[in-house]
Amino acid sequence: MFSLLQLLKDGQFHSGQALGVRLGVSRSAIWKQLQALERQLELDIHKVRGKGYRLADSLNLLDAEEIAPQGSVPWAVQVREVIDSTNAEALRLLQAGKLAPFLVLAEQQTAGRGRRGRQWVSPLAQNLYMSLVVRIGGGARQLEGLSLVVGLSVLSALRAMGLREAGLKWPNDVLVGRKKVAGILLELVGDPADVCHVVIGIGINVNMREMAEGIDQPWTSIRLELGHAIDRNCLARSLSEHLRDDLARHETDGFAAFRAKWEGAHLWQGRTVELASGVQVVRGEVLGISEAGALRLLVDGSERQYSGGELSLRLSDDS
């Protein structure tokens, strides 16, 4: 089906006969594939007698060569069509013996995941779903603040696309105002005190314009904010380059080298927040983050630090 989708991605009319010639199949086979595209990928295809078929909207499909021109990043790039999630695929490849680093992207996810078990809605060819696998050999110190560094890489790429109003929310979100535009999910494999691998999952709302079922929080996309479509390959290339540079610096200098920059981009710096862990809720003022990436809060006149993947941060009602 994706071979046919490649021919239709320009949004122009193509006759069934021409499509059949290009793919070496009959017009009847083309018709069946078109029906499958509509049914399985929920695409809107216009059919006009005498003109042929075209997509209701053109598609910007991912291309590994455009994302990572030879030698531009120190990892191999693989693009999948429809998979459960890029993190799950990256873990399978790692288990099968593929050597890190490598990057997996997908046109669509059927079971995309966010933090704390949330679903990450992943419509076809609209957003960016990617997972970078890296090997960590320097012990637990190499993991300190890693997700925050990735957040800075994502923020830099978004701002390079023109989204100047984007900012960070501790620990792993990128927001525009109070609306989420990107999220990060890290998964560890191995012993964090010795040698391990980290799967860095990143989801960015790029060209999505309509509310999709399953989104349970305020969201936005780059397209909604800027008013025009974004080349996903260009964004993925920019993000890959920022990740290349930031991860290399983090490996040599640690998170301390990024701390001031991160705090400068934190949208909730100095705000009153509520930090929840299960049923326990702590209310305090955001002082910043530690050199290890922990959240620093002023609680009842004293500074406390918090870290952990199951924590949820929100603005206090009167902040």
Which residues face 169 on adjacent strands?
Answer: 173
Residue 131 annotated as binding? Answer: no
Asked if residues 303 and 317 have their Cβ atoms less than 8 Å apart, the reply is: no
**237 belongs to the catalytic site:** no
Tell me if the bond preceding 74 is cis, omega within 30° of 0: no
Farthest CA pair distance, the chain: 75
Residue 220 annotated as binding? Answer: no
**CA-based torsion, 257, 261, 267, 272: positive or negative:** positive
Q: Out of 159, 223, 249, 314, which one is annotated catalytic?
A: 314
**180 belongs to the catalytic site:** yes
What are the distances in angstroms from CA 125 to CA 80, 194, 215? Answer: 11, 38, 18
| Tokens linked to 272 | 């009153």
Residue 87 annotated as binding? Answer: yes
| Tokens linked to 58 | 């053109």
Q: Out of 169, 180, 232, 259, which one is annotated catalytic?
A: 180
**283 belongs to the catalytic site:** no
**CA-based torsion, 87, 89, 93, 99: positive or negative:** negative
Q: Quick check: helix, strand or coil at residue 100?
A: coil
Residue 60 annotated as binding? Answer: no
Q: Out of 32, 80, 115, 261, which one is annotated catalytic?
A: 115
Whole-angstrom Cα distance, residue 130 to residue 115?
Answer: 15
**CA-based torsion, 196, 261, 171, 235: positive or negative:** negative
Residue 180 annotated as binding? Answer: yes
Q: Which residues are annotated as a binding site?
A: 85-87, 109, 113-115, 180
Q: What residues act catalytically?
A: 115, 180, 314
Q: Which residues are annotated as a binding site for biotin?
A: 85-87, 109, 113-115, 180
